[in-house]
């Protein structure tokens, strides 16, 4: 009797699973709830963009599912990435905005707590690929890149393996700047607070889009001075701020810089879980593309001063795959360039307050 019950139960599970697979996207998503996993605490750039996208994207998905934000901070986004890859249901009911630095992290093997092959994510699209900026706070003595090559500037970052720490090390390696770094702040908001109270003289990385949308008063009050930007081209609003790839350097260093400039263009990448069936991935990609053209979405973006520079899921997938496929000799040089020197970095006690999250 017990064996018959077990067989019937197993059969029911198989039938239900087959039935779910057989549904078209509209049938599947009707009445469903999509969880948008956010890799940071509330209030930062990742959180703002994820919630903003989630408020509009649901009505462009057939069946109009609700989209609910779920904050899952920790490890510079590694905690949420590992969850989405290995724990979350792989059926198209999960969205996440993956940390910009994780493709670099995987390519270089920098963090053993990253248990994800980012190529396995099903990439939906990139909402913004704004340049990363290194800024000085207004009370600091340094205002220009040339001055940063002559004087020390103490700047803040999040996790020891985060892009905010990596880029600062890269600048010192390639440009011979003298940035000192304090890492381990729980998230980018904590770095901002540390600048405001005089604990830091600057911030290692944050996007221009995030400054404009999350802390526009920093710009209006001239509390920050952008020293350097990294990306594939200059920000339209920052024509006088030096671009890293425009600086003089050796061919070997230029290969490193090109790798990192491409990595920065990953921006705010949105993904769903590995192994999600193709028709649901296509549905989410179409919904993402439609959302970024939606009049209500655009109006809210303008109201929030949120910079929208979309990239398709197909294009984003290619960039990430290309990063992972970088030749080993280039990756070896990149890894050396991104490793902070021991006397150039110290860890803040703030890390114990909540992880190593950024922006």
Determine the pLDDT at residue 157: 83
For 126, the token pair is 């990139």
For 15, the token pair is 């039938």
Which tens digits make up the pLDDT trace of 139-170? 999 999 999 999 999 998 876 656 777 788 89
Which tens digits make up the pLDDT trace of 201-239? 999 888 888 888 889 999 999 999 999 999 989 998 999
Measured from the Cβ of residue 324, the count of other Cβ atoms closer than 10 Å reads 14
The reply to whether domains 32-128+265-328 and 132-264+337-353 share a CATH topology is: yes
CA-CA distance, 239 to 257, in Å (whole number)? 19
Determine the pLDDT at residue 37: 98
CA-CA distance, 190 to 7, in Å (whole number)? 55
Determine the pLDDT at residue 352: 41
Q: How confident is the model at residue 129 (pLDDT cuts 50, 70, 90)?
A: confident
Residue 79 phi/psi, 5-degree rounding, is -60, -50
SS3 state at 22 = helix
Contact 67, 58 (CB under 8 A): yes
CA-CA distance, 245 to 232, in Å (whole number)? 8
Determine the pLDDT at residue 353: 41
Residue 96 β-bridge partners: 37, 271
CA-CA distance, 68 to 202, in Å (whole number)? 34
Contact 270, 84 (CB under 8 A): no
Nearest to 358 by CA among 138, 54, 43: 43
How is the beta sheet containing 33-38 ordered, strand by strand? 66-71, 33-38, 94-97, 269-272, 122-126, 311-312
Rg (CA), the chain: 21
CA-CA distance, 282 to 207, in Å (whole number)? 29
The structural domains of the chain, with segments of one domain joined by +, span 32-128+265-328, 132-264+337-353
For 309, the token pair is 């520079």
Task: Calculate the dihedral angle through the C-alpha atoms of 300, 302, 308, 312, rounding to the nearest 10 degrees.
Answer: 40
CA-CA distance, 283 to 302, in Å (whole number)? 26
Question: Could you tell me the CATH superfamily of domain 32-128+265-328?
Answer: Bordetella uptake gene, domain 1 (3.40.190.150)
CA-CA distance, 340 to 299, in Å (whole number)? 42
Determine the pLDDT at residue 332: 93
- The domain made up of 132-264+337-353 has a fold known as D-Maltodextrin-Binding Protein; domain 2 (3.40.190)
């Amino acid at each position: 009797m017990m064996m018959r019950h077990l067989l019937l139960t197993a059969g029911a599970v198989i039938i239900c699973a087959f039935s779910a697979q057989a549904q078209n996207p509209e049938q599947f998503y009707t009445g469903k709830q999509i969880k948008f996993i956010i890799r940071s605490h509330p209030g930062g750039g990742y959180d703002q963009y994820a919630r903003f996208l989630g408020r509009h994207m649901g009505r462009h998905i057939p069946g109009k599912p609700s989209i609910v934000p779920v904050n899952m901070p920790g490890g510079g986004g590694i905690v949420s990435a590992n969850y989405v890859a290995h724990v979350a249901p792989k059926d198209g009911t999960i969205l996440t905005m993956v940390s910009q630095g994780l493709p670099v992290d995987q390519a270089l093997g920098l963090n053993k707590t990253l248990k994800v092959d980012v190529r396995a994510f099903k990439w939906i699209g990139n909402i913004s690929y704004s340049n990363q900026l290194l800024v000085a706070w207004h009370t600091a003595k340094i205002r220009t890149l040339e001055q940063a090559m002559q004087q020390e500037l103490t700047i803040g970052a999040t996790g020891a393996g985060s892009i905010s720490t990596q880029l600062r090390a890269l600048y010192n390696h390639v440009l011979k700047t003298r940035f000192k770094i304090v890492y381990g702040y729980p998230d980018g908001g904590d770095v901002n607070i540390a600048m405001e109270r005089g604990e830091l003289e600057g911030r290692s990385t944050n996007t221009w889009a995030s400054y404009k949308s999350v802390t526009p008063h920093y710009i209006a009050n001239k509390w920050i001075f952008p020293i350097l930007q990294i990306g594939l081209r200059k920000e339209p609003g920052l024509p006088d701020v030096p671009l890293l790839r425009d600086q003089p350097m050796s061919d070997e260093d230029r290969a490193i810089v090109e790798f990192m400039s491409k990595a920065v263009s990953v921006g705010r990448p949105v993904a769903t879980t590995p192994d999600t069936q193709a028709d649901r991935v296509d549905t989410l990609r179409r919904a993402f593309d439609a959302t970024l053209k939606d009049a209500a979405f655009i109006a809210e973006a303008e109201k929030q001063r949120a910079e929208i520079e979309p990239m398709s899921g197909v294009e984003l997938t290619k960039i990430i795959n290309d990063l992972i496929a970088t030749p080993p000799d280039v990756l070896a040089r990149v890894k050396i360039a991104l490793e902070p020197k021991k006397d150039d970095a110290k860890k803040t006690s703030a890390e114990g307050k909540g992880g190593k999250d950024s922006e």
